[in-house]
Amino acid sequence: MDYRAELVVAGKRMLQKGLTVETWGNLSLRDPGSGLVYLTPSAMPYDTITEEDVVVMDLDGKTVEGRRKPTVESGLHLSVYRARPGVNAIIHTHPIYSLVFAVQHRDIPPVIDEAAQALGGAVRCAKYALPGTEALARNTVEALGEGGMACLLANHGAVCLGRDMKQAFKTAAVLEMTAQVYQMALTTGEPQPISDGDVAYMRDFAEHHYGQDK
């Protein structure tokens, strides 16, 4: 697989889908064979990034290939990969509706079936820490826990995971839709979250039974 090419395409897709603005946000892919991590460069417009701009690091944070500075959130990406062996793609987004709850330091409960299936239960908001710091990386890993597929970053954005980039984008799309529905429901009444037991059932069904290849 050409991880550099996939990352370049993914950056453009993130921008086109309105999941961030300008140069904010970042993406990464992990090669499960070598363990190497491919990251977007720091502060470069996504519509100008080329394969040569992608930075390759090992899980200890050593740059293996690339002439650019990696995203300032490289430590966050590497920390998540070390904590979650089944994750091979991460998108850090700045989506509008999710940010509404991030600035309130408020979790998003699983109020729709799509959230129960794709997000792994409530999306927790990580405690605030400055961008690019070890504290933010630690807080992100804590908020994601063992099975969460997304978390909010207080006053900052969201982090969405996947076994591959396709699933990471699905996570990002479902998170933003859930945030929008939850925000609208709060203005009209009392949203009723799906129970933990039903979330667990739907999550297992989506992972192991839903689809043509399962």
Give per-10-residue mean pLDDT for the chain (214 aa).
94 90 90 96 92 96 94 96 97 95 97 91 96 97 96 97 97 97 95 90 74 63
| pLDDT score recorded for residue 69 | 94
Is 146 a catalytic site residue?
no
**67 burial via Cβ count (<10 Å: 0-12, 13-18, 19+):** exposed
| pLDDT score recorded for residue 139 | 98
CA dihedral sign of residues 96, 19, 166, 66:
negative
Q: Name the β-bridge partners of 38.
A: 29, 56
CB contact at 8 A, 94 and 157? yes
Neighbours of 84 (CB within 10 A): 19
Q: Name the β-bridge partners of 65.
A: 56
Q: Return the DSSP state at 66.
A: -
Domain extent listing, the chain: 3-208
Q: Which of 137, 170, 181 is nearest to 156 (CA)?
A: 137
CB contact at 8 A, 121 and 97? no
| pLDDT score recorded for residue 43 | 87
CATH dotted code for 3-208 = 3.40.225.10
Q: Which helix (H) or strand (E) holds 11?
A: helix 3-16
CA–CA separation, 64 vs 164, rounded Å?
22
Rounded to 10 degrees, what is the CA torsion of 60, 64, 67, 69? -10
Please tell me which residue in 6, 73, 114, 176 is annotated as part of the active site. 73
| pLDDT score recorded for residue 201 | 85
| pLDDT score recorded for residue 9 | 96
CA–CA separation, 133 vs 138, rounded Å?
9
